[in-house]
Amino acid sequence: MILETKRLILRKPKKSDWKDIVEGCKELDVAKNISTIPNPYKKKDAELFIENALKKWRKKDKDGYMFFIELKDEKKVIGSTSLYSINKLSKKAKTGSWINKKYWRKGYILEAKISILDFAFNKLKLEKLESGARVKNRASNLMSKNLGFKNEGTKRKSTFYKATNEICDMNIYGLLKSEWKENRSKIIKRLNKY
């Protein structure tokens, strides 16, 4: 399965993507905001990340999707975005993303997330998505708000971050399908600035 946008291809990981993943995840500014990324980040870490993502794709009854974000112009993986902990009974899931620091502030995550939210609400028929952001991560908190997510609270000292070896506060955001439908066109206009 592939999701395509104007500048991006969101696709299943390939084992050959490991170099791009290492390049993106080795930056402390990226690693410190994703709980599962160690620092330093090495080839074996990328290979394990890719293998775990591929396992999710092979599952018949999927509880998650990990899409690698490939920049069309460069044919390079610049990050990933996911849906995970999919609960078919309550029709909800969690979502998360990261992007190589070289590609920050260019609208790529916004572009990828619009595609993922459409996929979640339209194809998977989910009714709610949740997202977490480290309290100190201004960019992720702002991105959640820009996508229409509502802050549903802060979990204090709830998440361990491997890269910095600390337990941090996490803001929790939620987005309902009805809110996405209502605000999608405004969010698309924001993307058109890039």
What's the rounded mean pLDDT across residues 22-46? 95
Q: What distances in angstroms separate CA 106 from CA 71, 80, 152, one per listed residue?
A: 12, 15, 28
Angle at which helix 138-146 crosses helix 108-118, to 10 degrees, equals: 50
Q: Alpha-carbon distance 153 to 131, whole Å?
A: 11
pLDDT band at 41 (very low <50, low <70, confident <90, very high): very high
Place of tokens 């997202």: 131
pLDDT in tens, 53-75: 999 899 888 899 999 999 999 99
According to DSSP, the residues that pair with 96 across neighbouring strands are 82
Give residue 192's pLDDT band: very low, low, confident or very high (50, 70, 90).
Answer: confident
Residues 6 or more apart in contact with residue 108 via CB below 8 angstroms: 7, 8, 69, 71, 78, 79, 99
Domain CATH number, residue 112: 3.40.630.30
Q: Could you report the per-residue pLDDT of 120-154, keeping only the tens digit for each? A: 999 999 999 999 999 999 999 999 999 999 999 99
Per-residue burial over 129-138, b = 16 or more CB atoms within 10 Å of its CB, e = otherwise? bbbbbbeebe
Domain coverage including residue 23? 3-191
What pTM was estimated for this model as a whole? 0.92
Per-residue pLDDT at 50 exceeds 90: yes
Count of the separate structural domains present in the chain: 1
Q: Which of 104, 78, 81, 89 is nearest to 25 (CA)?
A: 78
Phi/psi at 149 (nearest 5 deg)?
A: -65, 145
pLDDT at 75: 95
pLDDT tens for residues 71-125? 999 999 999 999 999 999 999 999 999 999 999 999 999 999 999 999 999 999 9
Compute the distance between CA of residue 53 and CA of residue 77 in angstroms, rounded to an integer: 14
